[in-house]
Amino acid sequence: MLNKCVKNLFVFSVLFSNFSCLAAQGNLIIKDITLIDGTGRAAMSNMNILIEGEMIKKVQGSDFSKSERRGARIIKGKGKYLIPGLMDIHIHLVGSTKVSKEGIRKVALDRAKGIRALQGYLYSGVTSVYDSGNVPEYIFELREQERAGEISSPRIFAAGGIVTYPGSHGSGAGATLLNEWPSAIPALDKHLSWKPDMVKLTLEERGWGARPLIPLLPLSLMEEIIRYTNYEGVRTTAHAASELRAMQAIYAGVDSLSHPVITGPISDKFAPFMAIKQTPMATTLTIGENYSRLVEHPEFLEQALYQATFTKEEISQLKTEQRDKYKDATWTWWMKLMTPIAQENIRKINEAGGILALGTDKSSGPAVHREMELLVKAGIPIADVIRIATLHGAKFLGKDRELGSISAGKLADMVILDSDPLLDINNAKHINTVIKNGQVVDRSKLRIQ
Ligand SMILES: [Zn+2]
């Protein structure tokens, strides 16, 4: 098939210099759609998008030429809305560990569960995820399968195991524990041999909320790890929960922050500081809010996206066992108290011009829609929320030259919506079509129920 294509291309290219095999075989054109391109600029009506192979070739108001239209599949966009594929830059894919009866988390691989969650992301319009800490052999195998086109999944970017100090936050299953420099180099080399898309560090001694103090990664060691990792061509991100630790992580050289400030209100100087530094910060409101939401409003699980992407057993487990567990946890009510504070911190950083990127710290497609709702409830304009959920996610990953907006020259990841998300962010749930890497996704195959 490919040989024939190449041969034809050779013969025809002598006659027509512009002829391309791909153009004749499978261009995709979206016609007359309202475009919200992810950059934050105003929506544009009656736009036409030409997708050639995996790339966005042209975005324009006028129609395409005859040769561009020849053989192309046309999607009629009249009355519909086009946004870039959503990105969740903080997940921990389910299916790698299980908590034992004694409450200890152990490695227990359940790939079917993980693949189901990945399908749920794609079904929900999420075309890229960054797994911010997982069992390396589990997540990197899935990443390989996704890149080979063997599984239906959003693009997978992954940290692998978390890198931190013995006993500190995140030093559980799969973690790489580093003690001191330079004796830590062989262990860090081994970690980097997995080819993580971004190394995840933690700068967290707890001692806030309902959590007792634990050891903290020393800043001098953190600096060495970041310098070494960056010199290997890999970006870094850090878990930090307070203004002080977030600022220290930035000065240690970190490339992004995995959480907003959640321990209390930020000072007046922090939002302008984040605008100056332009260090992308993940929003992760959903993780904190999900505990009390499940206790107080379990009916959210009746929403169409949850019903389509969770099994009946998962929903019933959440409504019973999980809900009972959350009801009695101090953490549930602490996080309920702190969520509005984190929302206000985030709103201020956005208003000042800092870069926020959508992350849920959860493991499901519908959670991405909840995160957008919580950002809108924080008082952030919807147009900004869409940019936070798309282009800023790509910036967080250092991939904004290839992903994150609907612009010529970028990879064709996008979602067609039946109603206007700028009027109500809930309209982003009215998904008509998902396109990943230039291919229309068959969503009917991704539904669970
Ligand atoms: Zn996390």
Query: Sign (positive/negative) of CA torsion 434, 438, 442, 448?
Result: negative
Question: Smallest Cα–Cα separation from 446: which of 429, 437, 434?
Answer: 434
Whether residues 250 and 182 fall in one domain:
yes
Q: What is the pLDDT of residue 8?
A: 43
Q: How far is the CA of 68 from the centre of ligand 1 (A)?
A: 45
Q: What is the pLDDT of residue 232?
A: 98
Q: How many residues does the chain have?
A: 449
The predicted model gives 273-287 an average pLDDT of 98
Residue 75 vs residue 18, higher pLDDT: 75
Distance 317 CA to ligand 1 centre (A): 22
Q: Which residues contact 99 (CB under 8 A, 6 or more apart)?
A: 105, 106
We report the CATH number of the domain holding residue 390 as: 3.20.20.140
Cα of 87 from ligand 1 centre, angstroms: 15
Compute the distance from residue 44 Cα to the ligand 1 centre, in Å: 36
pTM of the predicted model over 0.85:
yes
Asked if residue 162 and residue 29 are part of one domain, the reply reads: no
266 and 292 share one domain = yes
Q: Are residues 80 and 90 in the same domain?
A: no
Residues 93, 78 within the same domain: no
- With 90 as the cut, is the pLDDT of residue 100 above it? no
CATH number at residue 434: 2.30.40.10
> What's the gap in Å between 187 CA and the centre of ligand 1?
22
Cα 134 to ligand 1 centre (Å)? 9
Q: Which amino acid is at 27?
A: N
Alpha carbon of 164 to ligand 1 centroid (Å): 13
Residues 123 and 430 sit within 8 Å (Cβ to Cβ): no
The alpha carbon torsion through 258, 264, 267, 268 (nearest 10 deg) reads 90
pLDDT at 449 over 90: no
pLDDT at 14 over 50: no
Residue 91 C-alpha to ligand 1 middle, in angstroms? 6
Pick from 134, 390, 395: nearest CA to 256: 395
pLDDT range class, residue 428, cuts 50, 70, 90: very high
Q: Is residue 404 part of a domain?
A: no
* Alpha carbon of 258 to ligand 1 centroid (Å): 7
Distance 133 CA to ligand 1 centre (A): 7
What's the CA gap between 363 and 286, in Å, rounded?
Answer: 11
Distance 101 CA to ligand 1 centre (A): 23
pLDDT at 89 over 50: yes
Two structure tokens written together for 272: 């302008």
CA 164 to chain centre: 22
Structural domain range at position 426? 21-84+409-441
The answer to whether 83 touches 326, Cβ cutoff 8 Å, is no
Tell me, yes or no, whether 79 and 95 share the same domain. no
Residues 92 and 75 in one domain: no
**Cα 408 to averaged position of ligand 1 atoms, centre (Å):** 33
Nearest residue to 349 (alpha-carbon basis) of 378, 324, 329: 378
SS3 label, residue 361: coil
Q: Tell me whether residue 402 is in a domain.
A: no
Residue 104's pLDDT band (cuts 50, 70, 90): confident
pLDDT at 318 over 90: yes
In a shared domain, residues 155 and 259 = yes
Q: Please check whether residue 13 lies inside any domain of the structure.
A: no
